[in-house]
Amino acid sequence: MEPPTAEAVLQSVFTLYNNPNKQEKETASKWLEEFQKSIHSWEIADQLLQRKHDLNSCTFAAQTMRNKIQNSFHELPESAHESLRQSLLEHISHITLETKPVIVTQLSLALADLALLMSSWRKPVVTLLERFSGNPHMMYAVIELLTLIPEEINSRYLRLGANRRKDVLTELETDSSLVGDYLLMCLMNCNDNELLQMKILKCFTSWVNINAFNLSQIGDNMIIAYSFQLLTNINTKPEIHDAATDCLCGLLQCLEMNNNGDGLDVKLFNGILSLEEAYNASVAQEDLDKSMNLCRLFTVLVESNLVRMVAGSEAATPHYSIKALELVLICVGHYDFEVAEITFNMWYRLSEDLYQRNNEALTAHFKPYVERLIAALYKHCQMEADHEGLIEEGDSFKEFRFKVSEIIKDVIFIVSSISCFKQMFLILQSPNVTWESSEAALFIMENVARNILPEIMQLGERDIPASRFNQLCAESEVVPKVVEAILNLPSNCHIAIRYTSINILGELCDWIDSNPETLEPILNFLLCALQQKNGLATAAANALQSICSACKKHMLGHISGLMEIARCLDGFEIQTESAIGLLKGISIIIGRLPPDQLTTAMQELCGFQVRALGQLTSGEDDGLGLKKDRHDPVFWVDRLASIYRHVNPTVADNDVNPCVFVIVSNWSVLSRAMECYKNDPKIMERIVRCIRYAIRCVGKQAMPILESLVKQIITIYSGHNHSCLLYLGSILVDEFACEPSCIEGLLSMLQAFIEPTFQVLQVENGLKNHPDMVDDFFRLVARFIQRSPFQLLQSPLVTPIIQCGLLACTLDHRDANLSVMRFFCSLLSYGRHDRANELRSIVHGILMQHGESLIMNLLYASVFCLHSYMLSDVADVFVEIKHLSPHQLEGYVQKAVDALPKKNSGGSITVTNEQMIEFVDNIVKSETPRAVTQALQEFARLFR
């Protein structure tokens, strides 16, 4: 853009915030975005800050300055860094308590980021304190700066690099005593200004969070004592209460990572225990925010002591810190379930640790606490007594109950599912029990029901006292009583009780399989429920699916009833997903029928869906009913896909698959659907998914439809570029590329895909904007290499494919990048695994031609583009190259390392010669992908 003037920027800012014309606002917004990207914005933002024309222009200028430093610092030569620093310090010096917070924050962020980036600025904290600490009017600005400097150290925008970050942290540790003294002085001189008090606490916390303070020296720090004082005082304002809580939580987390506090941990532990009274006061005053803060503090107290608590409780006497669980349980008993929810992650962590240790004596110490947790959650899960119907989807209470389900499944092994089941059953048998109490007890039972059978089966395997064995066996006898009670529910019981009871039957599917005498009455009960409304039919469908999946052998005798259910499926009030699930259950049973019966049943089951889809594709859909979803092809295609996916007969190698006749018969309708809906990517994706399951169902016996299918997807792809067709192509390659008669046709299919694919991917941002296409294309190519490597690697297609793969190395989309890496691994593996020696020379030639570019791109991607968790996939490629040619790998890695920048935009050393030598050595010597991954991750941190 042309060099703009400050006046032009002011005019655009005014238009953006004040002009009522939407089109002109949009134009101004786009122009300002382009302005911020230009190199001219540095100088003009500085001018606008000096002018102080109005609030909006100052805010925009401060945001621009911060944005430029974070994202475009490389634009400035090192010679300009000092003048930028002086300018920002000058702007900061004009901040007062009256300055708008947004401007203070943006300017402070800009200066904090500059202090971290600008390696020539030594001791920025000392500079700030020397220049401003003597001015009481600058207290607010200095505290904000001192807060942001440690907070920004790990900013992903700055890319400081591990070396610079280490230097800065060392420097901040040295300066921490100065900061601590300054904050104490501010606290004593802030004249009860609540904003400053809150800022002081936040600043102290930010330095605690980077472990800058020597913990052994701050045990008596006045700010810590002040935090306790604030939390004890029932009149503390909410914002300061939050800051005090954050401060103590930060200290606890710091101690957890580095327990060298010389008694600070005990002081904090005892101090937090003493806050129980403050918590009770917050409950009495119905101050939910304070209750949640204190609950969070108690929870973090447990988490910070968790390792010591569990390890120290392996003796007869548990570790002293187990007392903190009492505080947490008090919070779980709070009247508002949001408070209890804060503790859930802590219970999960505790259960994980206990499960890994697998020590019954140790687990026994925590059993009473988990029993109390479940009792409290049972109460929280009770509906209101006047609640009618079921809990609606999206309701926060329903979401809470889902989280309760998850946490109960995590911790239930500590108390045993059987004893929990019995405890809830006793509640059901209590005299005058309310419906909401019964439903909540049933809900808890639902979440442990699936574990009942495994626990019963394990009873005889354990070396336990006979008395305990008899007790557990007696408890397990509760299950038949519960089932009997459910089957005899009175007709006038609350719908929520009936709904949860149906869910329990579904969860007891494994127990039902071991007790087949209960199957028929349960099926009759569920069949009645299928004919109900208001959610009961959906629950019954889900339960039936579970029972079909678990009780395959026993359900064969009920196939006629299941087929009748399928015929009446559209007459039931069932959610779409549950109907598909029910078809899954029926299909599983059909798959166990004798071949002749299987073909007939499958043809009938598919027929309901195929007829409707045929009507839609021919435009004759009047007979599909009034419901809108019946006129959506996806409704029928997904049902058909579920059948194809789950009818899995056992077929001998040379026998005809009984599903072939049905799939070939139905092909014409699916083919017509593809042609009919080729303009709609969502519908096409579902149709392709259905075809995929059909092909997988019968494998090579789908040969009768192969030729027409390939021709059709090539034609459609050339005009519509649906990436799902590439995925379908990979399925065809997987199933048919081992057949010599099919290879030429499949290779032609790949060639037909390449041109339209590359046209999309080679435009600007093509790879970034179409990750699904990258994913599906390279999955297709990788499958081709795995199934028919010789034909592909000898073809002229391989070179453009490799070049596209080299470009796609930097794509930071997990699935797409994984497919690219697997393609390279599959390709390179034939350089060492090909026993016939036919491909080794081809692969070695490819490595000679493209190896250097491949390693260069992989290393660049690892350092600058990919997330750390994605580097394990990159490591697999490094390992393949090492196995193929270790000497070439070393040379390629050395050249790639040499090409990386040695300094960052702030002038600090990114990577030293010693670190480069060490990295190359680590890569060359690593024998496993895990070792290479670790080397890549550590090296990438030097640049991030």
Of 774, 693, 695, 700, nearest to 737 by C-alpha is: 700
Give the per-residue pLDDT at 473.
60
Of 753, 841, 844, 848, nearest to 804 by C-alpha is: 753
Give CA separation, 203 vs 34, 154, 244, 763, in Å. Answer: 35, 16, 11, 48
Give the separation between CA 597 and CA 787, rounded to whole angstroms.
Answer: 35
CB 382 within 8 A of CB 441: no
Of 909, 857, 923, nearest to 161 by C-alpha is: 909
Give the separation between CA 509 and CA 488, rounded to whole angstroms.
Answer: 19
Q: Give Cα 825 to chain centroid, integer Å.
A: 27
Give CA separation, 749 vs 86, 463, 827, in Å. Answer: 64, 62, 20
3-state secondary structure of 556: helix
Judged by phi (left if over 0) then psi (alpha if -120 to 50, else beta), residue 825 lies in alpha
Contacting residues for 244 by C-beta, under 8 A, at least 6 apart = 201, 226, 227, 228, 230, 231, 236
pLDDT tens profile 502-559 = 999 999 999 999 999 999 999 999 999 999 988 999 999 999 999 999 999 999 999 9
Give the separation between CA 128 and CA 365, rounded to whole angstroms.
Answer: 53
Give the separation between CA 324 and CA 318, rounded to whole angstroms.
Answer: 12
Give the per-residue pLDDT at 289.
97
Give the separation between CA 391 and CA 438, rounded to whole angstroms.
Answer: 16
Token reading at 690:
């259905």
Q: How many CB atoms lie within 10 A of CB 201?
A: 28
Give the separation between CA 647 and CA 862, rounded to whole angstroms.
Answer: 43
Q: What are phi and psi of 748, to 5 degrees?
A: -65, -35
> Block means of pLDDT (10 residues each) for the chain, length 944 residues?
86 92 93 93 93 91 94 91 94 87 93 95 95 92 96 91 95 96 94 92 97 89 96 96 98 84 85 97 97 98 95 91 97 97 98 95 96 97 95 95 97 94 93 95 96 72 57 71 94 95 96 94 96 94 97 95 94 94 97 95 96 90 71 95 96 92 97 96 97 97 96 96 97 95 95 96 94 98 94 92 96 96 94 70 92 97 96 97 92 96 90 96 95 97 94
Long-range contacts of 17-23 (CB under 8 A, 24+ apart): 17/56
Q: Give Cα 337 to chain centroid, integer Å.
A: 24
Of 609, 714, 584, 727, nearest to 670 by C-alpha is: 609
Q: Which residue is listed with tokens 């620093």?
A: 85
Give the per-residue pLDDT at 533.
87
Task: HSE, CB side, 13 Å, CA atoms: give it for residue 662.
Answer: 29
CB 576 within 8 A of CB 541: no
Token reading at 651:
């077929």
Q: DSSP state, 837?
A: S
Give CA separation, 466 vs 459, 460, 469, 790, in Å. Answer: 11, 10, 5, 66
Of 823, 827, 851, 854, nearest to 840 by C-alpha is: 827
Give the separation between CA 560 and CA 150, rounded to whole angstroms.
Answer: 70
**What's the burial of 169, exposed, middle or buried (CB within 10 Å: 0-12/13-18/19+)?**
middle
Torsion sign across C-alpha atoms 698, 704, 709, 710: positive
**What's the burial of 627, exposed, middle or buried (CB within 10 Å: 0-12/13-18/19+)?**
exposed
Token reading at 526:
């569920």
Please list, residue by residue across 348-360, b when 16 or more beta carbons sit within 10 angstroms of its beta carbon and e when fewer do.
ebbbebbeeeeee
Please list, residue by residue across 374-401, b when 16 or more beta carbons sit within 10 angstroms of its beta carbon and e when fewer do.
bbbbbebbbbeeeeeebbeeeeeeeebb
Long-range contacts of 92-97 (CB under 8 A, 24+ apart): 92/132, 92/141, 92/145, 93/131, 93/132, 93/138, 93/141, 95/138, 95/140, 95/141, 96/137, 96/140, 97/137, 97/140, 97/195
Give the per-residue pLDDT at 380.
97
Please list, residue by residue across 208-242, b when 16 or more beta carbons sit within 10 angstroms of its beta carbon and e when fewer do.
bbbbbbebeebbebebbebbbebbeeeebeeebbb
Q: How many residues does the chain have?
A: 944
Q: Which residue is listed with tokens 């032609």?
A: 748
DSSP 283-347: HHTT-HHHHHHHHHHHHHHHHHHHHHHHHTTSSSSPPGGGGHHHHHHHHHTSSSHHHHHTTHHHH
Give the separation between CA 548 and CA 539, rounded to whole angstroms.
Answer: 14
